[in-house]
Amino acid sequence: MKKIFTLLIALLLCSCARSYSEDIRKPAVAGMFYPAGKAELTKQVDEFLANAKKIDKGRLLAIIVPHAGYVYSGQIAADSFKQLEGTDFKKIIIISPSHYVSFDGISVYNKGSFETPLGLIKVDEELANKIIQKNKRFIFYPETHLKEHAIEVELPFLQRVYKDKDFRIVPIAMGGPSSDDARILSEALYDVIDEDTLLVISVDLSHYYPYDKAVELDMGGLNAIEALDANDLVQKINSGSTEIDAPVAVLGAILFANRYSAKAKLIKYANSGDTAGDKSKVVGYSSILIYKPEETQNLGELIMKDEYLNKEEKKKLMEIAKLSVAEAVTGKRQFLPNVTEERLKENCGAFVTLKESGQLRGCIGYIQGVKPLYQTVIDVARSAAIHDNRFNPVTQDELGKLEYEISVLTPLKKIKDISEIEVGKHGLVMKQGFNSGLLLPQVATEYGWDRDTFLKETCRKAGLSQDAWKDKSTEIYIFSAEVFGEDK
């Protein structure tokens, strides 16, 4: 009996050990892409960081880094990771291509830890699961992470920069893309990323072209990225005039950054011909910062002091919205009016609301001033017609029946006292943890709500209990809007 009991204990201990090891993603490329020894790896990463230059910018949102072997791209990666010195990010989302396993979707690793020769880094399981819940395109497909180097090679840099700090990671690998994945990714990132969270995009550029051709291809894409111009980047990728090994990840990051009126800066570009010598077939690498400037000009700051947009400007925005919807629904190009008005070229948040027979048919917008106002109206009008998940896409038969309303927004203002809310003038944004919801000012007027009801309904929109606005952890923001329809 004693022997049997001892055997059972031994089996139980083995089972526990096996379970523990299964929750640790072991190094796959140590000794190949970077040194396998702790001392040698520490020395090499520290030297890379020492040779990099710190650049003072605004709030850091994301970095774009390469993922080749350190002899090829280690210094270029260090140029981005150097910017983390003096920061205290506690959650780091790392997105990479999937080099070894093909799958459909976006794989979010949501358990255990990742191991390097420098030790373990815990996965932020709560944040990972929040992302997975955002859309059915997010899945946990562990096989794609087992041999993937593109996330692993970034980890020693994080461990050396944050050697005395506690941080967690969310590894994400991009599978076969759908046409909507960039938008889905950007919306999820916007919902879950806060000031404690950094986004790391791990991508390489063109592969195996002669040196001069590679530089031409890479600089075309880098110019679009530095301008945070998603449309330009898509056109260049589709035409073959640039190459990126995880284009959807970069496009998602650009769309995410645009919601903050962010800027991007190319710190370093090089290819393997520069770092390893052979220029006959090279791979391109870049180090890019995406950040929110300390001071951001926003047209919305001027709205509501007096009526800001004149009748002709409103008429032009309405024409742009209607033509943009028609183009999205029919797939036929519409010729939009030329925009010469300076006020329509200023960055400003806006919503486009579509109704049919007085009933809501779609409503999408940008809260922040991420683009010139007229471009914002183009984007959100199209999305309201075909991407509002609450409704089926608008059909061609409905185009003549739609009623249009545009809301041009002021910046958000965080409040501490609900007495600051003026029903009919202010819209509300409610945030608690990963949940957020927005209601436009006219919604309260249309339904005849008082302030208390408006607060409760905004909480519901955020997926919170109706009294969540009373919770100290809930953030309440107000904004104003200039609202106009087709008859103005």
How many CB atoms within 10 Å of residue 134? 18
Asked if 369 and 261 count as a contact pair (C-beta separation under 8 A), the reply is yes
Q: Which of 44-48, 57-61, 291-295 has the lowest mean pLDDT?
A: 291-295
83: Cβ contacts below 8 Å, ≥ 6 apart: 54, 55, 57, 60, 63, 289
pLDDT at 80 over 50: yes
- Shared domain for 435 and 325, answered yes or no, is yes
Does residue 369 share a domain with residue 285? no
CATH number at residue 424: 3.30.1490.150
pLDDT attached to residue 309: 85
CA angle (20 as vertex; 14, 26 as ends), nearest 5: 115
| CB count in 10 Å sphere of residue 207 | 15
Residues in the chain: 488
> Which position has the higher pLDDT, 349 or 62?
62
Pairing of strands 402-409, 91-97: unpaired
pLDDT attached to residue 412: 81
Q: Which domain holds residue 351?
A: 299-485
SS3 category, 393: coil
Please, are residues 93 and 154 in contact by the beta-carbon 8 Å criterion?
A: no
Identify whether residues 267 and 331 lie together within a single domain.
no
* 16 vs 446, more confident: 446
What span, in angstroms and rounded, lies between the C-alpha atoms of 459 and 69?
Answer: 48
pLDDT interval class at 180 (50, 70, 90): confident
Domain termination residue (choose one: 292, 310, 330): 292
Mean pLDDT of 302-317: 74
Confidence of residue 262 (pLDDT cuts 50, 70, 90): confident
Please check whether residues 175 and 42 belong to one and the same domain: yes
Please state the rounded mean pLDDT for residues 233-261: 91
What pLDDT, on a 0 to 100 scale, did the predictor assign at position 176? Answer: 87
Is the distance from CB of 351 to CB of 408 less than 8 angstroms? no
pLDDT-derived band of residue 459, with 50, 70 and 90 as boundaries? very high
Closest to 183 (Cα-Cα) out of 135, 130, 236, 225: 135
Verify that 340 and 434 share a domain, yes or no: yes
Q: Is the pLDDT of residue 24 over 90?
A: yes
Among 87-91, 119-123, 175-179, 212-216, the minimum mean pLDDT is found in 175-179
**C-beta separation of 228 from 263 below 8 A:** yes
**Cα angle vertex 346, ends 317, 238, to 5°?**
80
Residue 297 has pLDDT above 50, yes or no: no
User: Residue 331 — pLDDT band, cuts 50, 70, 90?
Assistant: very high
**Structural domains counted in the chain:** 2
Alpha helices for 269-414 (secondary structure H): 272-275, 311-330, 373-386
Burial class (CB in 10 A: 0-12, 13-18, 19+), 205: buried
Q: For residue 284, is it within any domain?
A: yes
H or E element: which one contains 139?
A: strand 138-139
Q: Does 315 reside within a domain?
A: yes
pLDDT of 342: 86
- How high is the pLDDT of residue 10? 45
**Which token pair is 92?**
């780091």
- 396-411, pLDDT tens digit by residue? 999 999 999 999 988 8
The token pair at 28 is 């796959």
What sign results for the dihedral spanned by CA atoms 204, 187, 391, 374?
Answer: negative
480 and 378 fall within a common domain:
yes
The answer as to whether 87 is a domain residue is yes
| Residues 314, 275 share a domain | no
pLDDT category at 124 given cuts 50, 70, 90 is very high
* Residue-level pLDDT at 389: 87
- Answer yes or no: do 304 and 279 share one domain: no
b/e burial code for range 351-369 (CB count within 10 A of at least 16 → b): bbbbbeeeeebbbbbbbbb
State yes or no: pLDDT of 19 exceeds 90. Answer: no
In a domain, 174, yes or no: yes
pLDDT band, residue 205 (cuts 50/70/90): very high
Query: What average pLDDT does the segment 188-211 reach?
Result: 95
Distance CA 145, CA 24 (A): 12
166, burial (CB in 10 Å: exposed 0-12, middle 13-18, buried 19+): exposed
Average pLDDT over residues 216-238: 91
Do 268 and 335 reside in the same domain of the chain? Answer: no
- Do 90 and 44 fall within a single domain? yes
Evaluate whether residue 119 is within a structural domain. Answer: yes
Beta strand spans in 256-380 (E):
263-271, 282-292, 350-356, 359-366
Rounded Cα distance between 337 and 60, Å, is 37
Q: Could you read off the pLDDT of 149-173 as tens digits, one per residue?
A: 999 999 999 999 999 889 999 999 9
Which tokens go with 60? 């850091």
Among 275, 292, 309, residue at a domain's last position: 292
Q: 477 lies in a domain?
A: yes
* pLDDT of the residue at 295: 52
What pLDDT shows up at residue 366? 87
What is the arithmetic mean of pLDDT over 344-358? 91
For 283, residues 6+ apart whose C-beta sits below 8 A from its C-beta are 68, 72, 204, 205, 206, 207, 208, 214, 271, 272
Residue whose C-alpha is closest to residue 462's, from 421, 434, 427:
434
Residue 282, domain member (yes or no): yes
Which of the four pLDDT bands, split at 50, 70 and 90, describes residue 110? very high
Report the pLDDT value the prediction gives residue 289, as an integer from 0 to 100: 96
Mean pLDDT of the chain: 89
State phi, psi for 122 to the nearest 5 degrees: -75, 145
pLDDT grade for 100, boundaries at 50, 70 and 90:
very high
| Same domain assignment for residues 306 and 389 | yes
- Structure-token match 């350190």, residue found: 70
Same domain, yes or no: 191 and 143: yes
What CATH number does the domain containing 222 carry? Answer: 3.40.830.10
441 within domain boundaries: yes
Among the listed residues 277, 395, 391, the one whose alpha carbon sits nearest the alpha carbon of residue 325 = 395
Report helix angle 70-81 to 38-50, nearest 10.
Answer: 60
Query: End of a domain among 253, 275, 292?
Result: 292
